[in-house]
Amino acid sequence: MNLTGHHAVITGAGSGIGRATAERLAEAGCQVTLIGRHIGRLQETADRIGDLAFAAPADVTDPDALAAAIEAGRDRFGPVDILINNAGAATSAPFLKTDADAFRAMLALNLEAPAEATRLILPGMLTRRRGRIVNVASTAGLKGYAYVSAYVAAKHGLVGLTRALALEVASKGVTVNAVCPGFTETDLVARSVRSIMAKTGRSEDEARAALAAENPQGRLITPDEVAQTIVWLCGEGASGVNGTAVPVAGGEL
Protein backbone atom coordinates (compact mmCIF):
# COMPACT_ATOMS: atom_id res chain seq x y z
CA MET A 1 0.00 0.00 0.00
CA ASN A 2 1.23 3.48 -0.86
CA LEU A 3 0.05 6.38 1.30
CA THR A 4 2.88 8.74 0.38
CA GLY A 5 1.76 12.35 0.62
CA HIS A 6 -1.05 11.60 3.05
CA HIS A 7 -1.23 12.96 6.61
CA ALA A 8 -2.78 10.99 9.46
CA VAL A 9 -3.66 12.13 12.97
CA ILE A 10 -3.59 9.31 15.53
CA THR A 11 -4.77 9.71 19.11
CA GLY A 12 -3.45 7.47 21.86
CA ALA A 13 -0.36 7.06 19.68
CA GLY A 14 2.27 6.51 22.35
CA SER A 15 1.78 2.78 22.84
CA GLY A 16 -0.22 -0.31 21.92
CA ILE A 17 -2.55 -0.11 18.94
CA GLY A 18 -1.84 3.59 18.38
CA ARG A 19 1.91 3.09 18.16
CA ALA A 20 1.58 0.04 15.91
CA THR A 21 -0.79 1.95 13.62
CA ALA A 22 1.56 4.92 13.40
CA GLU A 23 4.43 2.64 12.45
CA ARG A 24 2.41 0.78 9.83
CA LEU A 25 1.09 4.00 8.27
CA ALA A 26 4.59 5.43 8.15
CA GLU A 27 5.84 2.25 6.46
CA ALA A 28 3.29 3.03 3.74
CA GLY A 29 4.74 6.54 3.36
CA CYS A 30 2.13 8.40 5.42
CA GLN A 31 3.08 11.38 7.59
CA VAL A 32 1.73 10.91 11.12
CA THR A 33 0.85 13.34 13.88
CA LEU A 34 0.97 11.51 17.20
CA ILE A 35 -1.36 12.75 19.94
CA GLY A 36 -1.48 11.54 23.53
CA ARG A 37 -0.94 12.57 27.14
CA HIS A 38 2.50 11.05 27.69
CA ILE A 39 5.13 13.11 25.88
CA GLY A 40 7.87 10.58 26.63
CA ARG A 41 5.99 7.75 24.94
CA LEU A 42 4.97 9.96 22.03
CA GLN A 43 8.51 11.15 21.44
CA GLU A 44 9.83 7.59 21.66
CA THR A 45 7.33 6.55 18.98
CA ALA A 46 8.24 9.56 16.85
CA ASP A 47 11.94 8.77 17.19
CA ARG A 48 11.31 5.16 16.12
CA ILE A 49 9.52 6.37 12.99
CA GLY A 50 11.74 9.29 12.02
CA ASP A 51 10.99 12.32 9.86
CA LEU A 52 7.49 11.17 8.95
CA ALA A 53 6.33 11.52 12.58
CA PHE A 54 5.50 14.53 14.76
CA ALA A 55 4.65 14.31 18.47
CA ALA A 56 1.88 16.66 19.65
CA PRO A 57 1.07 15.99 23.32
CA ALA A 58 -2.49 16.66 24.48
CA ASP A 59 -5.23 15.28 26.69
CA VAL A 60 -7.90 14.41 24.12
CA THR A 61 -10.66 15.15 26.65
CA ASP A 62 -9.54 18.81 26.70
CA PRO A 63 -11.06 20.33 23.53
CA ASP A 64 -8.67 23.29 23.45
CA ALA A 65 -5.59 21.10 23.89
CA LEU A 66 -6.84 18.67 21.25
CA ALA A 67 -7.48 21.49 18.78
CA ALA A 68 -4.01 22.92 19.39
CA ALA A 69 -2.35 19.53 18.83
CA ILE A 70 -4.22 18.96 15.58
CA GLU A 71 -3.33 22.46 14.38
CA ALA A 72 0.34 21.86 15.21
CA GLY A 73 0.19 18.72 13.08
CA ARG A 74 -1.33 20.66 10.21
CA ASP A 75 1.42 23.26 10.49
CA ARG A 76 3.98 20.45 10.20
CA PHE A 77 2.45 18.20 7.54
CA GLY A 78 -0.49 20.04 5.97
CA PRO A 79 -4.15 19.00 5.65
CA VAL A 80 -5.30 15.84 7.42
CA ASP A 81 -6.43 12.99 5.17
CA ILE A 82 -6.75 10.27 7.83
CA LEU A 83 -8.05 10.36 11.41
CA ILE A 84 -7.51 7.41 13.73
CA ASN A 85 -9.50 7.87 16.95
CA ASN A 86 -7.65 5.37 19.10
CA ALA A 87 -7.31 6.93 22.58
CA GLY A 88 -9.40 5.08 25.14
CA ALA A 89 -9.47 3.37 28.51
CA ALA A 90 -11.72 1.22 30.66
CA THR A 91 -12.46 1.23 34.37
CA SER A 92 -13.94 -1.83 36.03
CA ALA A 93 -16.66 -1.78 38.69
CA PRO A 94 -20.20 -3.08 39.19
CA PHE A 95 -22.79 -0.72 37.72
CA LEU A 96 -24.15 0.32 41.14
CA LYS A 97 -20.62 1.28 42.20
CA THR A 98 -20.02 3.31 39.04
CA ASP A 99 -21.06 6.83 40.02
CA ALA A 100 -22.12 9.55 37.60
CA ASP A 101 -18.66 11.11 37.46
CA ALA A 102 -17.00 7.79 36.60
CA PHE A 103 -19.64 7.14 33.94
CA ARG A 104 -19.14 10.58 32.39
CA ALA A 105 -15.37 10.13 32.37
CA MET A 106 -15.71 6.98 30.27
CA LEU A 107 -18.04 8.77 27.85
CA ALA A 108 -15.71 11.78 27.64
CA LEU A 109 -12.67 9.73 26.69
CA ASN A 110 -14.17 6.95 24.59
CA LEU A 111 -16.99 8.78 22.80
CA GLU A 112 -16.91 12.55 23.15
CA ALA A 113 -13.19 12.93 22.37
CA PRO A 114 -13.46 11.01 19.05
CA ALA A 115 -16.49 13.12 18.16
CA GLU A 116 -14.57 16.33 18.90
CA ALA A 117 -11.54 15.24 16.87
CA THR A 118 -13.89 14.42 13.99
CA ARG A 119 -15.53 17.86 14.22
CA LEU A 120 -12.11 19.47 13.94
CA ILE A 121 -10.86 17.41 10.98
CA LEU A 122 -13.92 16.40 8.93
CA PRO A 123 -14.63 19.84 7.36
CA GLY A 124 -11.27 19.82 5.55
CA MET A 125 -11.89 16.29 4.31
CA LEU A 126 -15.27 17.32 2.92
CA THR A 127 -13.75 20.34 1.19
CA ARG A 128 -11.13 18.16 -0.51
CA ARG A 129 -13.62 15.30 -0.99
CA ARG A 130 -11.10 12.84 0.40
CA GLY A 131 -10.74 11.30 3.82
CA ARG A 132 -10.65 8.24 6.03
CA ILE A 133 -11.88 8.13 9.61
CA VAL A 134 -11.27 4.96 11.63
CA ASN A 135 -12.62 4.72 15.16
CA VAL A 136 -10.95 2.15 17.39
CA ALA A 137 -13.93 0.76 19.28
CA SER A 138 -13.90 -2.72 20.83
CA THR A 139 -15.86 -5.93 20.90
CA ALA A 140 -17.44 -4.06 23.83
CA GLY A 141 -19.05 -1.89 21.16
CA LEU A 142 -20.83 -4.95 19.77
CA LYS A 143 -21.64 -7.03 22.87
CA GLY A 144 -21.86 -6.67 26.63
CA TYR A 145 -19.27 -7.41 29.31
CA ALA A 146 -20.03 -7.44 33.01
CA TYR A 147 -18.48 -4.82 35.33
CA VAL A 148 -17.54 -2.36 32.58
CA SER A 149 -20.96 -0.88 31.86
CA ALA A 150 -19.73 2.68 31.25
CA TYR A 151 -17.03 1.50 28.85
CA VAL A 152 -19.48 -0.74 26.99
CA ALA A 153 -21.99 2.10 26.73
CA ALA A 154 -19.33 4.45 25.38
CA LYS A 155 -18.03 1.96 22.81
CA HIS A 156 -21.56 1.13 21.65
CA GLY A 157 -22.00 4.87 21.20
CA LEU A 158 -18.80 5.09 19.16
CA VAL A 159 -19.98 2.32 16.84
CA GLY A 160 -23.32 4.11 16.49
CA LEU A 161 -21.57 7.37 15.68
CA THR A 162 -19.49 5.54 13.07
CA ARG A 163 -22.56 4.12 11.34
CA ALA A 164 -24.53 7.37 11.38
CA LEU A 165 -21.70 9.61 10.19
CA ALA A 166 -20.77 7.15 7.44
CA LEU A 167 -24.20 7.68 5.89
CA GLU A 168 -23.86 11.46 6.03
CA VAL A 169 -20.53 11.50 4.16
CA ALA A 170 -20.97 8.48 1.90
CA SER A 171 -21.28 10.55 -1.29
CA LYS A 172 -18.55 13.05 -0.35
CA GLY A 173 -15.34 11.07 -0.73
CA VAL A 174 -14.99 10.22 2.96
CA THR A 175 -15.41 6.85 4.65
CA VAL A 176 -16.01 6.23 8.35
CA ASN A 177 -15.39 2.81 9.86
CA ALA A 178 -14.64 1.20 13.20
CA VAL A 179 -12.39 -1.63 14.22
CA CYS A 180 -13.46 -3.69 17.21
CA PRO A 181 -10.54 -5.53 18.80
CA GLY A 182 -11.03 -8.28 21.32
CA PHE A 183 -8.68 -8.50 24.29
CA THR A 184 -5.38 -7.18 22.93
CA GLU A 185 -1.84 -7.04 24.29
CA THR A 186 -2.05 -3.41 25.44
CA ASP A 187 -1.78 -1.39 28.64
CA LEU A 188 -5.55 -1.66 28.99
CA VAL A 189 -5.37 -5.45 29.15
CA ALA A 190 -2.38 -5.27 31.48
CA ARG A 191 -4.53 -3.22 33.87
CA SER A 192 -7.34 -5.75 33.51
CA VAL A 193 -4.93 -8.55 34.40
CA ARG A 194 -3.81 -6.69 37.52
CA SER A 195 -7.43 -6.08 38.49
CA ILE A 196 -8.33 -9.77 38.11
CA MET A 197 -5.31 -10.75 40.19
CA ALA A 198 -6.22 -8.29 42.95
CA LYS A 199 -9.90 -9.21 43.09
CA THR A 200 -9.68 -12.99 42.64
CA GLY A 201 -6.25 -13.99 43.86
CA ARG A 202 -5.43 -15.62 40.53
CA SER A 203 -1.88 -15.64 39.22
CA GLU A 204 -0.88 -13.47 36.27
CA ASP A 205 -0.91 -16.47 33.95
CA GLU A 206 -4.37 -17.48 35.16
CA ALA A 207 -5.70 -13.95 34.72
CA ARG A 208 -4.29 -13.69 31.21
CA ALA A 209 -5.72 -17.11 30.34
CA ALA A 210 -9.16 -15.98 31.48
CA LEU A 211 -9.05 -13.07 29.04
CA ALA A 212 -7.58 -15.16 26.23
CA ALA A 213 -10.43 -17.64 26.68
CA GLU A 214 -12.86 -15.04 25.28
CA ASN A 215 -11.15 -15.55 21.91
CA PRO A 216 -12.03 -18.87 20.24
CA GLN A 217 -8.42 -18.99 19.05
CA GLY A 218 -7.40 -19.10 22.72
CA ARG A 219 -5.04 -16.13 22.61
CA LEU A 220 -4.78 -12.37 22.92
CA ILE A 221 -4.83 -10.25 19.77
CA THR A 222 -1.64 -8.33 18.96
CA PRO A 223 -1.61 -4.56 18.39
CA ASP A 224 -0.10 -5.10 14.95
CA GLU A 225 -3.05 -7.24 13.85
CA VAL A 226 -5.38 -4.35 14.67
CA ALA A 227 -3.02 -1.84 13.06
CA GLN A 228 -2.91 -3.74 9.79
CA THR A 229 -6.72 -3.77 9.66
CA ILE A 230 -6.78 -0.02 10.27
CA VAL A 231 -4.21 0.65 7.55
CA TRP A 232 -6.19 -1.44 5.07
CA LEU A 233 -9.28 0.67 5.81
CA CYS A 234 -7.21 3.78 5.00
CA GLY A 235 -6.20 2.59 1.54
CA GLU A 236 -7.82 2.85 -1.87
CA GLY A 237 -8.69 -0.83 -1.79
CA ALA A 238 -11.19 -0.16 0.99
CA SER A 239 -12.97 2.71 -0.78
CA GLY A 240 -16.21 0.76 -0.82
CA VAL A 241 -16.06 -0.13 2.87
CA ASN A 242 -18.09 2.43 4.83
CA GLY A 243 -20.07 2.33 8.07
CA THR A 244 -18.66 -1.02 9.14
CA ALA A 245 -17.52 -2.26 12.54
CA VAL A 246 -14.80 -4.82 11.86
CA PRO A 247 -14.14 -7.30 14.69
CA VAL A 248 -10.51 -8.32 15.17
CA ALA A 249 -11.23 -10.96 17.77
CA GLY A 250 -10.53 -14.43 16.44
CA GLY A 251 -14.19 -15.31 16.00
CA GLU A 252 -15.50 -14.09 19.37
CA LEU A 253 -18.41 -12.45 17.58
Annotated catalytic residues are: 151
> CA-to-CA distance for 28 and 4, rounded, in angstroms?
7
> CA-to-CA distance for 197 and 92, rounded, in angstroms?
13
